Structure 1
């Protein structure tokens, strides 16, 4: 190929790639820290100690078991390995390609005297080819696969963070169900005592059978709460075992719900903690990959220059000495008319890049919302728990007064019955409020991409 034709081919292909480079939509701008994610480096792992802030070694052990055995995390790690192999394959396209060939041949013929002759020969050769990649088509494609690798690592960390959060939330829910079961059993015991008193009073003729039947109905109503809570506990244990990657079975208990620590949240946590969110990193790298793929598609419209060469030997019984041969050449491939295929591919790449940009903006806005929702959840659920605790204490005092008045004959059984029902409702609501508050802490850790360190707290304090 005459390399002097290269300028002409470049000029012929120039109209196919004229026009400004399509930019990302202006709507993708997000109010975020200026050094979004980059200061921490790509693929930073999720913090591995935030669940220890609840002060329960059993919870810590469950999370670690889940991060070791969960099949979803194993599948995510396998996808990372696949992306890593794709990146190596793309990087190999930038290197020269060398092939070795050693064909052999054998020919038989008859000479004029009718004697058969055999002629053997071989032409071993080494050939090499190299794409000069003048306009960065291969380099941009490799950059796209590298960004896809980082995005897959972000997806893996997202799964990891989700598993840890699910285990922590599931364990808190399990301890809340244990507390509900304890409330149901304590209430059943008190209702059993009330039923015993009502039966004795009815048998002595002090009261009518109406109070006896009311007490028995209230006892049966509370009795059904026990198997209901036990069923919920069994299902929650199986759900946790699934997260652990294990067969259904019991879960070892640790700290009670009321004894779990509420992590301290410093005022004014820096917004750049959101850079630790792996889903944002994944969306960012997906945008980078789409942008680099667009560059590669646009570079495909330009001429492509390749160099080829071969070196070999000719060996034959007809030759007294081997004969060395070599060749060196170049080829230029330039798209002149392809029916608009390359232009359509570039337009599709630009559309995919715009989709990734909007997806990144959506992920960033969702991150801000989740943090704000989690902070509000921690604060409001705590206020709700305090209010319900006050209600529970007041109803407990009212039940004592109603029980004393009923035994002394100053009030009817209905006063005691109404107070018992109100106290049971308040105790169950208090258990749920405490669980919701701790679950809100888990959601806050997840929203911040794995929590905050003591250094972050000290920086805020200064």
Structure 2
């Protein structure tokens, strides 16, 4: 009776200590609070869209095709998917530690010598059996480790979603930048044609002796300078086309995007409530999962101070004759319970706890930073869209005035009322303002895609 009490005492102590083990949580003050509203207001909504295919709201079949190709073959997505598969495999490996372990063994040993013969143990002995082991998760170490691995897998899945969103946004922004260059290149060709028309007129007047050669040289300079700017735009377009190819997981030489025009649909994206940003953005969710995994691992480290209890069992046989190995007379079996409690370890357990605590602090700071960055991204794009809308309206007035000034200058020059310098200056002003208007429009597209990305890939 006394021996049973002595056997139960360590088990009772373990159960009592188990009640003291708990997973720590991040301090509330370490996490950012969600604001009641955004600093900058969103524009009125013109469409509602699901997160899965937000790019389709631009109604551009070429963009749809490029995005689908990127989602199917992008190498960054393939890497993120491989990391997810790795995390899920690690989760299965961690959960296997909580299951019953079963193994089989077989062997043969031979003993000889005078001492063995004197003891009657000389000869060959064959053994075979099965071994079972199971660790009782008294302190929750295994469950906490499994929970941490599950959160790691969850974070990897969320990072894969974040990678998809990033690829979608990169494709859209590169595509709209390319279309902006197409519009700018068309404007440059139109301007070159206008300069060439002016050059022909100037050459005729010079041939007639009405003007000096200097006027001809000036127009030729403008023609060449504008053609040079057009070639620079061609080079930038080629680079964007190559970037789209890499995003699609293809060789730059294998992808071509035919010159086209901008789509007319530029959706107004409602930002909604600030809390929805945290719900939608997969990178924020991944940072939160990483923080929770770090909390679980700190709990695992703390369980190192408590004892572990393992049960093992074995059954089999041993015989000097292989034919007698599985007879009942050769049977062996055994049961064991092992309670293990480290006492002196040179500070290893304390260092493990401190390391896990530091990892939790790091993960909490990373989560806080991700949340702050998410709100900054939204505020940046909201303010940009508001100011770009106002800039576009003012720039449209500048384009209209510059175009009218060019018309008047061209008419007066053809009638000999003004100098060539006034005409060239008016044309340069009109070109600069029209290019600026295109760049403002391009920035509106970039900011719209940026806002969609900042909101986690959709709205509604």
Does TM, scored on the shorter chain, surpass 0.5?
A: yes
CA pair 321-84 structure 1, distance change in 2 beyond 3 A: closer
**1:427 Cα deviation from its structure 2 partner:** 1.3
With the length of structure 2 as denominator, give the TM-score of the two structures. Answer: 0.87
Write the mapping of 1:357-376 to structure 2, written as runs, cut at 5 A: 357-376=364-383
**Could you report, residue by residue, the CA deviation over 1:408-453 in whole angstroms, capped at 9, with x for unpaired residues?**
122111211111010111111111111110111110110011111x
Q: Which residue of 1 aligns with 2:286?
A: 282
Task: Say yes or no: does 1:303 pair with 2:310.
Answer: no
Indicate the larger mover: 305-314 or 46-55: 46-55
Task: Say yes or no: does 1:431 pair with 2:435.
Answer: no
Q: Which runs of 5+ in 1 are unaligned?
A: 35-45, 111-117, 457-462
SS at match of 2:314: strand
Of 13, 30, 34, 1:28 maps to 30
Q: Which residue of 2 aligns with 1:343?
A: 350
CA pair 124-12 structure 1, distance change in 2 beyond 3 A: closer
Distance 2:98 2:449 in 1: 46
Distance 1:76 1:443 in 2: 22
**Could you report, residue by residue, the CA deviation over 1:55-81 in whole angstroms, capped at 9, with x for unpaired residues?**
101101101100111111101100110
SS at match of 1:245: coil
Of 116, 136, 161, 2:165 maps to 161
Of 394, 397, 400, 2:404 maps to 397
CA pair 8-448 structure 1, distance change in 2 beyond 3 A: same
CA pair 343-283 structure 1, distance change in 2 beyond 3 A: same
SS at match of 1:125: strand
Distance 2:304 2:8 in 1: 16
Task: Say yes or no: does 1:292 pair with 2:299.
Answer: no
Q: Which residue of 2 aligns with 1:184?
A: 188
SS at match of 2:99: coil
Query: Contact 1:304–1:333 at 8 Å: present in 2 too?
Result: yes
Query: Contact 2:182–2:259 at 8 Å: present in 1 too?
Result: no
Distance 1:397 1:88 in 2: 72
**1:202 Cα deviation from its structure 2 partner:** 1.3
Write the mapping of 1:245-324 to structure 2, written as runs, cut at 5 A: 245-249=249-253, 250-253=255-258, 256-257=261-262, 259-266=263-270, 268-269=272-273, 271-317=275-321, 322-324=329-331
Write the mapping of 1:35-50 to structure 2, written as runs, cut at 5 A: 47-50=51-54
Query: Contact 2:99–2:134 at 8 Å: present in 1 too?
Result: yes
Write the mapping of 1:82-97 to structure 2, written as runs, cut at 5 A: 82-97=86-101
Q: Which residue of 1 aligns with 2:362?
A: 355
Q: Which residue of 2 aligns with 1:40?
A: none
**1:266 Cα deviation from its structure 2 partner:** 3.8
Of 3, 6, 11, 1:4 maps to 6
**1:123 Cα deviation from its structure 2 partner:** 2.3
Distance 1:20 1:69 in 2: 44
**Could you report, residue by residue, the CA deviation over 1:116-141 in whole angstroms, capped at 9, with x for unpaired residues?**
xx966532111111110210011101
**Could you report, residue by residue, the CA deviation over 1:298-349 in whole angstroms, capped at 9, with x for unpaired residues?**
0111011111111112344496863322111201110211122101111111
Task: Say yes or no: does 1:53 pair with 2:60.
Answer: no
Query: Contact 2:269–2:448 at 8 Å: present in 1 too?
Result: no
Task: Say yes or no: does 1:81 pair with 2:81.
Answer: no
Query: Contact 2:167–2:247 at 8 Å: present in 1 too?
Result: yes
Distance 1:267 1:87 in 2: 37
Distance 1:12 1:165 in 2: 54
Query: Contact 1:58–1:253 at 8 Å: present in 2 too?
Result: no
Query: Contact 2:301–2:356 at 8 Å: present in 1 too?
Result: yes
**1:14 Cα deviation from its structure 2 partner:** 9.7
**Could you report, residue by residue, the CA deviation over 1:232-284 in whole angstroms, capped at 9, with x for unpaired residues?**
11111111111111111342347612x34111334745632431111001100
SS at match of 2:345: coil
CA pair 162-196 structure 1, distance change in 2 beyond 3 A: same
SS at match of 2:252: coil
Distance 1:301 1:400 in 2: 87
With the length of structure 1 as denominator, give the TM-score of the two structures. Answer: 0.87
Task: Say yes or no: does 1:407 pair with 2:414.
Answer: yes
Distance 1:161 1:321 in 2: 66
Query: Contact 1:154–1:281 at 8 Å: present in 2 too?
Result: yes
**1:222 Cα deviation from its structure 2 partner:** 1.0
CA pair 21-62 structure 1, distance change in 2 beyond 3 A: closer
CA pair 10-350 structure 1, distance change in 2 beyond 3 A: farther
Of 174, 177, 183, 1:173 maps to 177
**1:12 Cα deviation from its structure 2 partner:** 11
Task: Say yes or no: does 1:126 pair with 2:133.
Answer: no
Of 136, 140, 145, 2:144 maps to 140
CA pair 8-48 structure 1, distance change in 2 beyond 3 A: closer
SS at match of 1:440: helix
Of 78, 101, 104, 1:100 maps to 104
Distance 1:70 1:47 in 2: 19
Count of aligned positions: 433
Q: Which residue of 1 aligns with 2:41?
A: none
Q: Which runs of 5+ in 2 are unaligned?
A: 37-49, 115-121
CA pair 277-341 structure 1, distance change in 2 beyond 3 A: same
Task: Say yes or no: does 1:223 pair with 2:223.
Answer: no
